[in-house]
């Protein structure tokens, strides 16, 4: 048991100190509603006046500021203002719904390093998008399997292959990518 040497009393527990702090800051504990059959309890005795050596409570201005801060709820204001404002967009461009409205068509700009005929701007429908993404996913998995095999057989071979890919990658990937893009253009609709 802990006894305060100055006052000779047992100090308040952590829960009691936290409850006192919450009361000073204006936070009320959440408790269930009292039952109708429960009898009224007698009022608690007022707290004794603080002694001279005891710490003073926080100033009322601080408690008022904290209560004011707790009353503000910016997340409610943001949700209401977000509903009132319209989506931001660049004035020169039509809305995305108008651009994609022609049957779900998508505009893609190819790069020189993965399309030998690039850079070019192409517009693909859903079938063309499926062919394009399927071709590049297949190419990715083939390269991944080749890298794992090279790593297992001869790890130095993997590093040599990576160097050659960075050095001459556009010459290798360009024609392959151009073939995939041309195939997607043939399936445009």
26: left (phi over 0), alpha (psi -120 to 50) or beta: left
Q: What is the rounded average pLDDT of the residues 103-118? A: 76
Structure confidence at residue 189 (pLDDT): 55
The answer to whether 122 and 183 have CB atoms below 8 angstroms apart is no
- How confident is the model at residue 185, as a pLDDT? 80
What does each C-alpha distance from 66 to 20, 29, 55, 59, 174 come to in angstroms? 15, 16, 20, 11, 64
Tell me what pLDDT residue 141 has: 93
* Least confidently predicted of 4-13, 48-57, 155-164: 48-57
- Domain positions in the chain are 105-186
Look at residue 93 in the predicted model and tell me its pLDDT: 63
| Tokens linked to 68 | 């004011």
Contacts of range 33-42, beta carbons closer than 8 Å, 24 or more positions apart: none
Express each pLDDT in 122-145 by its tens digit.
Answer: 888 888 888 888 888 998 999 899
Instruction: Say what the pLDDT of residue 33 is.
Output: 76
Report yes or no: 135 and 152 within 8 Å, Cβ to Cβ: no
| Averaged pLDDT score across all residues of the chain | 75
Structure tokens at 124: 């693909």
| Predicted confidence (pLDDT) per residue in 46-94, tens digit | 666 655 555 555 556 777 777 777 766 555 555 555 555 555 566 666 6
């Amino acid at each position: 048991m802990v006894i305060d040497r100055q006052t000779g009393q047992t100090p308040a527990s952590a829960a009691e100190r936290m409850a006192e702090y919450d009361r000073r800051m204006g936070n009320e504990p959440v408790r269930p509603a009292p039952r109708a059959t429960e009898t009224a309890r007698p009022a608690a005795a007022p707290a004794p006046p603080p002694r001279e050596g005891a710490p003073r409570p926080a100033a009322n201005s601080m408690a008022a500021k904290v209560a004011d801060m707790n009353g503000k709820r910016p997340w409610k204001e943001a949700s209401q203002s977000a509903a009132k404002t319209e989506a931001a967009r660049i004035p020169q461009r039509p809305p995305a719904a108008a651009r994609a409205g022609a049957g779900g068509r998508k505009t893609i700009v190819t790069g020189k390093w993965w399309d030998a005929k690039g850079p070019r701007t192409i517009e693909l429908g859903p079938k063309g998008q499926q062919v394009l993404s399927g071709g590049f996913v297949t190419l990715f998995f083939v390269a991944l399997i080749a890298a794992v095999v090279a790593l297992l057989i001869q790890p130095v071979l993997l590093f040599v292959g990576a160097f050659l890919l960075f050095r001459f990658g556009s010459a290798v990937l360009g024609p392959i990518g151009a073939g995939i893009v041309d195939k997607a253009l043939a399936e445009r609709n």
